Structure 1
Amino acid sequence: MKTDTRPSSAGAKAFYNNPKYRGWIYQSLLLIFLIAFFYSIISNTLSNMAAQGIKSGFGFMTTSAGFDVLMSLIPFETTDSYTKVFIIGILNTILVSIIGVICSTMLGFIFGIAYFSRNWLIKKISIIYVETFRNIPVILQVLFWYTAVLTTLPSTRDSLSIGEAFFLNIRGLYIPRLIDEPKSFVVYIAIVIAIVAIFFLRRWARKRQDLTGEQFPLIWSSLGILLGLPLLALFIAGVPFHFEYPELKGFNFQGGINVIPELMALAIAMSIYTGAFIAEAVRAGIQSVPHGQTEAARSIGLKERKIMSLIIVPQAMRVITPMLNSEYQSLVKNTTIATAIGYPELFTVFAGSALNQVGQAIEMMFMSLAIYFALNMMISFIMNQFNKRVAITTR
């Protein structure tokens, strides 16, 4: 007696031909392969390390570093642990990244918009800036600012100064330090309240404009709130702040804040370099807006400044934002070139100086890679959220 197997084979074929189930199979096989691959690498690495007498683990993080760090945003001594060195590297990386993102964005938008200026000189300056700085490797620009500019500044006794508050010399820029007193929390609370008030004011102004068509002076109102509330709190609390000014004592300045030349060179070079790429992104975004938008705005009597700020740039942001995301991430990754001039960011101070002493390359490189990955994923998340807000919504 023959058994008909066609229904079961047809069912298996239908199961395999289903894209959903077939995708599960492929993904499961890929996951199994990746697990086996990484397990093989890790087990072989641990075996080789054990054979060579190399210790593994993260116990070294609690041992004393035994070396000093050029710049630290938190108190640090040579007896502190490698954990603190790791934190200092992260903070210094974030600091130069924030400075670079802010300054490069400002430069990029200024020169990107200047490309469309009717003034011949301004337009040519924009073109020269973009074509010059984006075609010179960023590490050469860092070395130029550090060796050819900042290290040629005068000594501390012959510092360039602005009044008795700002001093620039071969050891960096010295600026006053703001010292807060016990009642300063009143001002900080006022700043938080002002930010929250501006947030709700912005939502109200948008709803008001949607209902009435009238534009609310949001920028000036926000500035008034952001400055007015803290100033009011400042006087109520009796000005609970004072400045600590840098003073020349002996061969160096004491007091104030010292912006080291390594930070200045890295921030300047990366801002100018990344700003050139952002300027090109801004130019492309503006050109993507149909020219009819400009003509329509002119026909109703809007000035060029209003056309650019209210009509062109908001529409161009849907093209500019994805490119900004890429440039910001590149800027964070480019901070690793700071090792060329000794700025103590994460790669220099932890994956460099600390690694040379400890020798546990796998753990330390893994930690460094994880931080850079996390920073870039954070930037990607923020920019993707912003991109959703500026994207054109369709039904």
Structure 2
Amino acid sequence: MANKITLTALNITLRDVLENDKFMGGIVFVCAGDFRQILPVIRGGGKNEELEHFIKSSYLWEGLTKLELTENVRLKTNYVRNKSFAKNLLKLGTGEFGPVYFLEIFGISVKTREELVNKAYDEIENNHLNASYFEKRAIISPTNDDVDSINSVIYEKSEEEEVVYNSVDTATENDTGIQTSVFNALTSPSLPLHQLKVKIGSVLLIIRNICPPKLCNGSRIIVTNLKKNVIVGKILGGSYGGEEVLIPKITLGAQDTPVPFKRKQFPVKLSYAMTINKSQGQTFERCGLFLDSVQCFAHGQLYFACSRVTNWNSLTVYTGWEKVNDEYQLRPAINRVYKELFSGEFDNVDENLPQVTSESEASFFAQEEPELEKVEIPKEVLQAFRRRRYQDDSARL
């Protein structure tokens, strides 16, 4: 999912910091990925834009030594159906399957959303305060709208007392004439709700880096206490699993809304369900895949979703219904794959840059980027910066 621009910036930065013109400053650089998975997310972009920002379209690609994994952990099982699941999963990722009917191939197909929820969160009424219960369970879906809908359904199953936190929304300097109620009504995937409803036992997703690496964007917690100005919870899974943390209110800027504004609120959202993209890097023992109103719409999303589990029967899928020959039947899942990603040749779309012809010539990369104009920084500015940095360091100590 890394944008090629990120790697280009890293290359330039390391060469600058290490003061040489070798690739990545001459240090060993290792990156890992799977081209079957989701490509860089380009806001408002389509296939062409995703491929343009893909690492294989960068001039850096030809200079990298490619290594491949050779051992599939899923194939080590003695269970025949799981071996079949592992093999078919790879075929799904390379586009060998078109529309997929979930008939005990990649998971268990169900007929309603309620059945999906009950499969993923069975006996939730007796486990709503059990951190280990929620740690390895989730429902995933392509869109935020479906995720919010499922979260609301599961949230209502808890009988704990509800606490409501209202955000403080303020205008930017250029929009001071807009009423606060307008900002309160605005929502965005990158912002918490204006009216945040939480119960003890709720599973929440952190949507900003608060205290890396302990509390990062994407971390999940279960709420253990609710105070006026802080949410107390325990981290679900990972290196810090079970550790108690405090979540404060912070000010968040909204740039992807019709009107830019600032919102002071707890940086969390309900997380019984999450988007497929947000589930990156996680493995679940019980996972639901909801594909009713919207099917997978990007390269690798279906493969990505199905690979969140290690066993075929750990995945439950609901795809909705369609009418065929006057009869209703469960829809197949659409599998979108850009097959050109797996071809030996891939067009380099970087403009005005020569192509790499030898992997052994690290000095080649020194001539690929235009030399930046050097800017003289006034002596007074440097002295002021050093004084400020010294004061900041002293304050920390």
Pick the TM interval, shorter chain. under 0.3
Q: Relative to total residues, which structure has the larger helix share, 1 or 2? A: 1
Structure with max Cα Rg = 1
TM-score (norm 2): 0.18
Q: Relative to total residues, which structure has the larger strand share, 1 or 2? A: 2
